[in-house]
Structure 1
Amino acid sequence: MSSANDISLSVIVPVHKVQGYIRQCLDSILDPDLPNLEVIAVDDASPDGCGEILDEFAERDSRVRVLHLTENVGLGNARNAGLDAATGDYVWFFDSDDYATEGAVRAICERLAETRPDVLLFDYARAYWNGRVKRSIINHLFREPPAPDVFTIAERPSVLELMMTSWNRAIRREFLLDLGLRFSSGYYEDVNVTYPILMAAERLSLLDRVCYIYRQRRRGAITKTAGEKHFDAFAQYERIFAFMDELGERADPYRQLMFNRTIWHLLVIIERGDRVHESDNARFFAEMSKIYNKYRPADHTPPSEPPLLAEKHRLIEKNDYRGFQRIKGSKVKVKAKKSAKKALNLRKRGVLYSKELAKERYYQMHRGLAIDENLAVFAAYWYRGYACNPAAIYEKARELAPHVRGVWVVKPGARKSMPEGVEYVVSGSADYYRTMARAKYFVNNVNFPDNYVKRPGQVHMMTQHGTPLKKMGLDQMEYPVGAGDMDFKALLARSDRWDYLLSSNPLSTEAWDRGFPCSYEMLEIGYPRNDRLVRATEEERVRLRAELGIPEGATAILYAPTHRDYQRRYSPMFDIGRFVEQLGDDHVLLLRAHYYYKLKNMAADMGWPEGRVIDVSKHPSVEDLGIASDALLTDYSSVMFDYANLDKPIVIYANDWDTYRLTRGVNFDLTAFPPGAIATTESELADVFVSRAAWSDTATKARAAFRERFCPWDDGNAAERAVRRLFLGEKVPNPPV
């Protein structure tokens, strides 16, 4: 009996600007039980972190080979480069933002070993950004009628109706090389390979299984990018018909079906509306007509289904673009009537009339006035006050861009916390709506409210507020506990307003790419809020310790746990009173609960030793606390990534790591790559400090590796880079590592 290891398979993966997806792609392919598997990853001069990620995979798995191209050659030529380097019996061309289903690679290898075809075709499913996964609509072709294990296209011409991509088929490598077929440059580069191999194959086989997940990216997909390149389709189909002419009479049984598939595909391109610019439609239609009349078989009969398709064929044959427009126009009118009816129903229900109407009209009036080119809005943590990356950028802007007037938005209760000399408006006030309507620049570490309308010409910088150990954005959809009742569609609508997104390190860049697939410019420049940590002085440390009441000579431990989605309220994960007693009188614990929790003075409420546990939950600056402390105790909070810049001990208390990982989702295994000592029980936690293991050489080396990986750009100048990009319009490449 044949087994999966009886054949060798080369999976060729061209890679370009997919750093948020490439790990999932490769992980899905690299079945650990397939020694004869080979992955040829072609780094097509990707400008992001893909090359480094590929090298990381190659370093830990000898089955991965990486080709680093010195210039971008495009998808087709990158595949050709991978094919030239492949050694397997079969090749599978795999797109780097997609992924294989569980067990798919093994199933494909087993089927190849059983049938030894020239081409094996298998099914796929589309995965949408909202989490929906849908199998191909023509999956019945794998079963109806039942297919023999091996056949030719003459015996089953319906295989031409299967998706014409390169990723839903495994091809015998020598067969492909003997045909001399190469992927073309430009768009639709695979059709002039995927169709001809079916026509030339003497042995075809099917695998009725979803093996491939075709990711429907919300942004960045070639097929959703309008432009001239969609005209490449005509040259690709010309190549297919030339190949059929070389086959001669062998091609006659499926020439009419191939012709219909060609016209079907060209109609998809022009009718989708997101590929060919409206101004180019007539010219595209004329090229369709040329193809139609050049290659239409003599006995061709236009297909009767779906409705109007036969009429479209006749209009294409006559190059009657006006007639074609009339058909399309009838559909548009139906949609317009439905939209008008829906709007009328909303008005009848009074949705458009509310107590906020006066504010909305005032806001709308100011949106009609000119934008103030030198006005910038700053905000942080849902208007909680002056903090985080926006505060660091605000301060640097006052120095480097003094012509820009910065105004903060705060809640009514945050007014008292605003620093002297910092201008602000209160959310919901007339000043607030006027400022939001007229400002040129917007800087925030969270999203602005849904009712904010971004005007043309306004520019947004999203800074975020931490390195994402936990899953964020769309990645949360797989973790309903962490996602809660989040409206992901609304989240993306808010994120679509971003022009710039700050990233502190490569991990963040990968996570933001996946979690927020929107059209912004990624700025991987470090975290502005960390500039202060990098530049902290001993004098500053002494002053802050005195202000916080830390006794001279005491070891101050900053305890900053994260929020847990599976808990309703804050509950310490260990007995804090007993912990500080075990540490002794020369230790002080600075307790900072997560800002989600509305606490008063927990230290006093719980009766913990006075002066030994200092509740700093309401302190306005976590940076102050980091500088003043001697060590950090946390669990999964992003504060660890910032604190690493201080090069002081970090202790991770991971007593519920598995629960947190399964309910919230994480981007890497913290227990395998901690920033220092790690404890999972209360006794281990106390011992880490009592034994001074937190200060050991082992912990120091772990912290250095962590800092190198997650703080590469924190050099004290991140805020300056942000200001120069946003307010001064300068290009700001990442600083050298």
Structure 2
Amino acid sequence: MPELSVVVHGPNTQDHLTGLLDSLAARPLPDTEVVVAAVGDWARETAGRHTPHVQVLPLPDGTSGAAARTAGAARATGRWLHFVNAKDGLPPDSTRTVAERLAELADTVDVLLLDHLRSTWRSSGLPSADGPLLARAGRAELALDDAAYLLRLTPLLGTRVLRAGFWRAHEEQLTTDDEPHAALAALLLADRVAALPHIAHEDRRLRSATLPPVTPEQRYALVDRYESLLDLARDRPAVYTVLYEIMVRDCLRTFTRGGMPEDVAREFFHRASVAALRRRPDGHRRPAGPEGIRRSLLEEGAYGKYRAFQTANRARRAVRSTVRAGRRRLGAQVRDQQYRSALRRPVDPRLAVFAAYWNRGVACNPAAIAAKLAELAPHIHPVWVVTAENAALLPPGTDHVVPGTRRYWETLATAAYLVNNVNFPNDLVKRPDAVHLQTHHGTPLKRMGVDQMPFPAAAQGLNFAALLERVDKWDYSLSANSHTTRMWETAYPSRYMSLDYGYPRNDVYYTAGADDIRAVRARLGIAPGRRAVLYAPTHRDYEAGWTPRLDLAALADRLGEDTVLLVRGHYFYAGSASPLTGLRRSGRIVDVSSYDPVEELCLAADALVTDYSSIMFDYANLDRPIVVHADDWETYRTTRGVYFDLMAEAPGPVARTQDELTGILTTDAWRDDSAAKERAAFRRRFCEYDDGRAAERVVRRVFLGQDEASLPPVIPVGERTPAPAPQEAV
């Protein structure tokens, strides 16, 4: 009996089935079977081209989705069933990840919940909103009564893997063409569920114009769906209440956005009203504000009043929008006048503006340059751009301006030097006698700039025309290696000069001494002699929030008392709830997501574990072990785009699973001769210009105007001495 049966079902809509089966055939798994319930000739012919990798069950045109699923399940022999619509997709290697998670589960679990991507005809690889809920569930086996929030997951059957015995026991209740009904019913009927907070399904939304028109009866069926589901939850108060909330929300959303004819809308509202009143839990309280009013009117069946309320709300929003727009125009006019007035003043050759990471504070390459500027050119005054909420965190005595203020625009207008590792605002006027230095903040593995255009998940929300207008204002672009210089030329095509000087933030990896390393480790609470492993994963464009891709508690247990895990989440997730909250006090897992500067964490760590983060290029300067955990490399490469194959050119051993990572870290594989050879090749390529004097070269060239020949030459990689390792600093 195979562990997993992937049951692909349906017609070959828009030839999506071909890509789905190609991806499965490219990476066949020994303990997984693929059954294709092929509806129609095109699906049958397509599936036939993929034998013997798949079993083909031909079904006639017009076979419903429910019937195709049932037929496929009857043919399947696996312990678990993953139903995948033929129009949908499976991200590369996701089936392997699912199978590994299933192998860990006991027979007491009926449903495994997955995260997913969303794609439409115009964009692909968009994140779902399910990640934080799945992260909250963790890896424990749960009863729905204790985790009713899981009902709020997107109701897709493709994100539920069902135990085959569970499917057979409830086949009649789960066999329906209403897929959301089946997805929710699977949760309600399960004794216990488990989560896999990784991307393992792609939900492809077809253009509505290619689908049959929605009939009135299909509209009304939404209410019937929740009526029957609430019957399943009748004696489960917590579950019932959440499901009722979902019903009311979906009914109001469908009524508001459905674009129904008047007679259909009136009947839908009536049916939803009856259900909302009849099914309302005892003691249930409506929310406050406009949402509470909407629900009250729905329960009253007050169709006319609800329409009037909608009209009044639209009018109020229009008025507020007009007022806000007027205020914005007035504020913009005042700001523009102030800025234009300041632009008429002479440029101040003694004034430099610094910013980093969207005005978060004193950090990264700009911070290292500013520090060296104070040493070599103290006559130039630095002013930092910092948001109001981060101003309180600045080092004492740091001169700063808050974006949008009068002094902010005056400073931007008159500064002779503009230094940033991301972007200044589009409205910035680049004066001919001012110098704009773009320092960047990492070596690119992932696609950047205009190279993101073919990757919608990465490019969503980007205005490439505005990006290039900002790039055209650069005078200098800083680079740490030849690879980066070439990639910046493709990602940011313009006439700037590349400064192949190294990244100033990495100077500390050659200037820090044993005392510095002991002091950092003491601040972090790392006792002498203990191994510190820094785990620093990167952001994923296709995930809604940060979901740790490792069971950190289990990893810490396996590594033992002598190892401390320093866990640093990506700064993109600084405003969201940390999934590490319950682990912080264990002593062996330290959440360092808010610790700055990150360079100190690298100095404190005996080894780095990362995935695709640019931190690996910086940490390589220390010539300490690096382990790559790449459980979703194929998905990342496909949705984000990369400049080279990290799997073939990694800085050390590569783990594709948690077990592999644990095996590397509990043996000498993390620091053996093979790892050292891989790291040496990586250092030669990517630490090319980093030698401890990058900031000095920048200040002498950009701020003091010295020519290239007078700058400190770059020391070859083999002749450099990095900061001592922690065991050497003891």
Question: What TM-score results when the alignment is normalised by the length of structure 1?
Answer: 0.51
2:566 to 590, 598, 608: 590
Indicate if the aligned counterparts of 1:603 and 1:614 stay in contact, CA closer than 8 A: no
- Which of 436, 446, 470 is 2:446 aligned to? 470
What is the CA distance between 1:485 and its match in structure 2? 2.1
Secondary structure of residue in 2 paired with 1:486: coil
1:495 aligned residue: 471
- In 2, the alpha carbon distance for the partners of 1:379 and 1:485 equals 22
Q: Deviations over 1:213-269 (max 9, x none)?
A: xxxxxxxxxxxxxxxxxxxxxxxxxxxxxxxxxxxxxxxxxxxxxxxxxxxxxxxxx
Aligned match of 1:663: 639
Q: Which runs of 4+ in 1 moved over 3 A?
A: 349-354, 599-604, 606-609
CA shift in 2, pair 1:583/1:451, >3 Å: same
Alignment partner of 1:509 is 2:485: yes
SS of corresponding position for 1:568: coil
Number of the residue aligned with 1:426: 402
**1:281-292 maps to which residues of 2 (within 5 A)?**
none
Residue 409 of structure 2 aligns to a residue whose secondary structure is helix
Name the residue aligned to 1:678.
654
**Is the contact made by 2:691 and 2:715 (CA closer than 8 Å) also made in structure 1?**
no
Aligned residues: 389
More displaced stretch, 596-605 vs 353-362 = 596-605
* Cα separation, partners in 2 of 1:608 and 1:392, compared to 1, 3 Å: closer
Q: Which of 713, 718, 727 is equivalent to 2:694?
A: 718
> How far 1:569 sits from its partner (Å)?
0.4
> How far apart, in 2, do the equivalents of 1:404 and 1:381 lie?
22
What is the SS of the residue equivalent to 2:442? Answer: coil
- Structure 1 counterpart of 2:522, from 523, 546, 552: 546
Q: Which residue of 1 aligns with 2:143?
A: none
Contact 1:531 1:719 in 2 (8 A): yes
**Residue 411 of structure 1: aligned partner:** 387
Amino acid paired to 1:447: N
CA–CA distance in 1 between the matches of 2:447 and 2:630?
17
Does the Cα contact within 8 Å between 1:479 and 1:665 map onto a contact in 2? yes
Q: Give a deviation string over 1:622-677, Cα, whole Å, max 9, x none.
A: 00100011110100000000000111111100111111111111111111011111
- Contact map agreement 2:584 2:591 (CA 8 A) in 1: no
Q: Distance in 1 between matches of 2:427 and 2:337?
A: 12
Q: 1:619 aligned to 2:595? A: yes
The equivalent of 1:40 in structure 2 is none
1:484 to 460, 464, 469: 460
List aligned pairs for 1:276-675, cutoff 5 A.
353-598=329-574, 602=578, 605-607=581-583, 610-675=586-651
1:600 Cα shift? 6.8
SS in 1 for 2:548: coil
Counterpart in 1 of 2:43? Answer: none
Q: CA deviation at 1:464?
A: 0.2
Shift of 1:606: 3.3
In the alignment, is the contact (CA less than 8 A) between 1:602 and 1:615 conserved in 2?
no
Deviation at 1:601, TM superposition (A): 7.3
Deviation at 1:413, TM superposition (A): 1.1
Does the 8 Å CA contact 1:444/1:462 hold for their aligned counterparts?
Answer: yes
Q: Which residue among 663, 681, 684 is the counterpart of 1:705?
A: 681
Give the distance between the partners of 1:633 and 1:483, measured in 2 at CA: 27
1:608 and 1:518, CA in 2 relative to 1: closer, same or farther beyond 3 A?
Answer: same
Contact 2:548–2:579 (CA<8 Å) still a contact in 1? no
Question: In 2, Cα distance between the equivalents of 1:418 and 1:390?
Answer: 14
Q: Quick one: structure 1 residues 385 and 608, their matched pair in 2 at CA, closer, same or farther if it must change by over 3 Å?
A: closer
For 1:402 and 1:711, the matched residues in 2 are separated by 29
Which whole-Å CA distance do the structure 2 matches of 1:649 and 1:617 have between them? 21
Distance 1:699 1:606 in 2: 33
Unpaired runs of at least 5, structure 2: 1-324, 717-730
**Aligned-residue offset at 1:712:** 1.3
Aligned mates of 2:539, 2:444 — CA distance in 1: 13
Of 429-438 and 641-650, the range deviating more from structure 2: 429-438
Q: Write out per-residue CA displacement over residues 147-178 of structure 1, whole angstroms, 9 at most, x where no aligned residue.
A: xxxxxxxxxxxxxxxxxxxxxxxxxxxxxxxx
**Amino acid of the structure 1 residue aligned with 2:432:** P
For 2:667, which of 669, 691, 716 is the aligned residue?
691
Q: After superposition, give the CA deviation of every residue in 1:528-549 in whole Å (9 maximum; x if it has no partner).
A: 0000112221111110011011
Deviation string 1:656-708 (CA, Å, 9 cap, x unpaired) is 11111111111111110111111001100011100121111110111111101
RMSD over aligned CA atoms reads 1.8
Q: Partners of 2:660 and 2:612 in 1: how far apart? A: 17
Equivalent residue for 2:714? 735
Paired residue type of 1:407: V
> Which letter maps to 1:735?
V
Change (3 A) 1:607 1:525: closer
Distance 1:602 1:726 in 2: 40
SS in 1 for 2:507: helix
TM-score (norm 2): 0.52
Alpha-carbon separation, structure 1, partners of 2:584 and 2:354: 38
For the pair shown, the structure with the greater C-alpha radius of gyration is: 1
| Aligned residues of 2:610 and 2:616 also touching (Cα < 8 A) | yes
TM-superposed deviation, 1:353: 3.8
Post-superposition offset of 1:356: 2.4
What one-letter code is carried by the residue in structure 1 that aligns with 2:433? G
Does the 8 Å contact 2:584/2:590 carry over to 1?
no
Seen in structure 2, the aligned counterparts of structure 1 residues 570 and 603 have a Cα distance that, compared at 3 Å, is closer
Confirm or deny: 8 A CA contact 1:603 1:613 kept in the other structure: no
Q: C-alpha displacement at 1:488, in angstroms?
A: 0.5
Q: 1:428: how far off?
A: 1.6
Output aligned runs, 1:151-230, within 5 Å.
Answer: none
Query: What amino acid is aligned across from residue 619 of structure 2 in structure 1?
Result: Y
Q: Deviations over 1:71-93 (max 9, x none)?
A: xxxxxxxxxxxxxxxxxxxxxxx
Checking the alignment, whether the CA contact within 8 Å between 1:688 and 1:694 is kept in structure 2 is: yes
* 2:453 counterpart SS class: helix
Percent identity of the aligned residues?
49
Q: Secondary structure at the match of 2:331?
A: coil
Which residue pairs with 2:275 in the alignment? none
Measured in 2, the distance between the counterparts of 1:607 and 1:403 equals: 48
Amino acid at match of 1:658: E
CA drift of 1:358 comes to 1.3
Whether the 8 Å contact between 2:542 and 2:639 is mirrored in structure 1 is: yes
In 1, Cα distance between equivalents of 2:690 and 2:326: 52
Matched residues in 2 for 1:574 and 1:566: separation? Answer: 18
2:714 maps to amino acid = P
Residues 425, 599 of structure 1: CA spacing in aligned structure 2 closer, same or farther, 3 A cutoff? closer
Residue by residue, what CA displacement relative to the aligned partner does 1:185-232 show, whole Å, maximum 9, x if unpaired? xxxxxxxxxxxxxxxxxxxxxxxxxxxxxxxxxxxxxxxxxxxxxxxx
CA spacing shift, 1:576–1:604, aligned 2, 3 Å: closer
Q: Could you tell me how far apart the structure 2 residues matched to 1:584 and 1:541 are?
A: 23
- Contact kept? 1:504, 1:525, Cα under 8 Å: yes
State how far apart, in whole Å, the 2-side matches of 1:549 and 1:555 are. 12
Residue 478 of structure 2: SS of its match in structure 1? Answer: strand
In structure 2, the residue matched to 1:94 is none
CA distance, structure 1, for counterparts of residue 510 and residue 645 of structure 2: 26
